[in-house]
């Protein structure tokens, strides 16, 4: 039988602390619990154990869970692929991690302006050049960052990465590449752009991601256990 959720969460936090200690000086690390397809009861249990950030992969699921917890003391993150027509469902969350094209920026601008809200986002970068995976190519990043200057209701806070599958050590070079990309594009400063956040690392490799500079790690299975099957309804 697996350990209770609060014990699994404590173990993840201990692993984060060990990785931070190995890394040494660096930015603080925020843990985002990936609650995709997990019931509200699991989110409430994790929140009771002290988790403050929850990530969802589907815009409509995020919308529904936010509606179910209108006064939730925790922060919501959207971490999945986002369609333009669903931008309105994610506006208002702490961070949208997966912006990767100008059209999506414009959709978020429109939805955020309609709510008079300034939406914080991360730009997802495909550093490995995987054609089947979302994310902007590193070479196209400067133009996308320049696009933020014209937006009144969207702000870039950093970069996000989903690396190719592999062992933690096989993913390390991709995490390092994202950190170096952020460092390379911090100067000269751009309007409405900060590159302070690096969202990278999941259950299998978050310790390596922290060693390479992650400020946000997205951990699901190690906290919540296996993900429930999708509903056939």
> Within a domain: residue 80?
yes
> Within a domain: residue 230?
no
Q: What is the pLDDT of residues 58-87, one digit of tens each?
A: 999 999 999 999 999 999 999 999 999 999
> Within a domain: residue 229?
no
> Within a domain: residue 45?
yes
User: Average pLDDT, stretch 84-98?
Assistant: 97
The answer to whether the CB of 56 falls within 8 A of the CB of 75 is no
Return the structure tokens found at 78.
């959207």
What's phi and psi for 131, nearest 5 deg? -60, -30
Q: What is the pLDDT of residues 17-39, one digit of tens each?
A: 999 999 999 999 999 999 998 99
Specify the pLDDT at position 1.
Answer: 39
> Within a domain: residue 233?
no
Instruction: Tally the domains of the chain.
Output: 1
Phi-psi sector, 26: left (phi>0), alpha (psi -120 to 50), beta = left
Q: Which domain holds residue 113?
A: 5-224
CATH, residue 119? 3.20.20.10
Specify the pLDDT at position 230.
Answer: 67
What pTM, to 2 d.p., does this model score? 0.95
pLDDT bucket at 106, cuts 50 / 70 / 90: very high
Q: What is the pLDDT of residues 124-165, one digit of tens each?
A: 999 988 777 889 999 999 999 999 999 999 999 999 999 999
Specify the pLDDT at position 231.
Answer: 54
Specify the pLDDT at position 233.
Answer: 36
Question: How crowded is the C-beta side of 55, counted as CA atoms within 13 Å?
Answer: 24
């Amino acid at each position: 039988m697996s350990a209770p959720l609060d014990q699994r969460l404590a173990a993840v936090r201990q692993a984060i602390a060990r990785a931070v200690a190995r890394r040494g000086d660096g930015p603080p690390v925020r843990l985002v619990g990936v609650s995709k397809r997990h019931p509200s009861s699991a989110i409430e249990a994790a929140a009771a154990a002290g988790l403050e950030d929850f990530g969802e992969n589907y815009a409509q699921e995020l919308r529904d869970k936010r509606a179910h917890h209108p006064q939730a003391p925790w922060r919501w993150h959207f971490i999945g692929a986002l369609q333009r027509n669903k931008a309105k469902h994610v506006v208002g969350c702490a961070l949208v991690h997966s912006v990767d094209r100008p059209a999506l920026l414009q959709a978020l601008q429109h939805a955020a302006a309609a709510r008079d809200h300034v939406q914080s986002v991360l730009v997802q970068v495909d550093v490995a050049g995987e054609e089947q995976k979302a994310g902007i190519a590193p070479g196209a990043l400067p133009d996308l960052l320049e696009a933020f200057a014209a937006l009144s209701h969207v702000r870039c806070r950093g970069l996000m990465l989903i690396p190719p599958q592999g062992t933690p050590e096989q993913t390390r070079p991709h995490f390092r590449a994202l950190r170096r990309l952020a460092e390379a594009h911090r100067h000269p400063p751009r309007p409405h752009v900060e590159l302070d956040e690096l969202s990278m690392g999941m259950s299998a490799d978050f310790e390596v991601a922290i060693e390479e500079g992650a400020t946000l790690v997205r951990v699901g299975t190690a906290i919540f256990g296996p993900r429930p099957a999708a509903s056939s309804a």
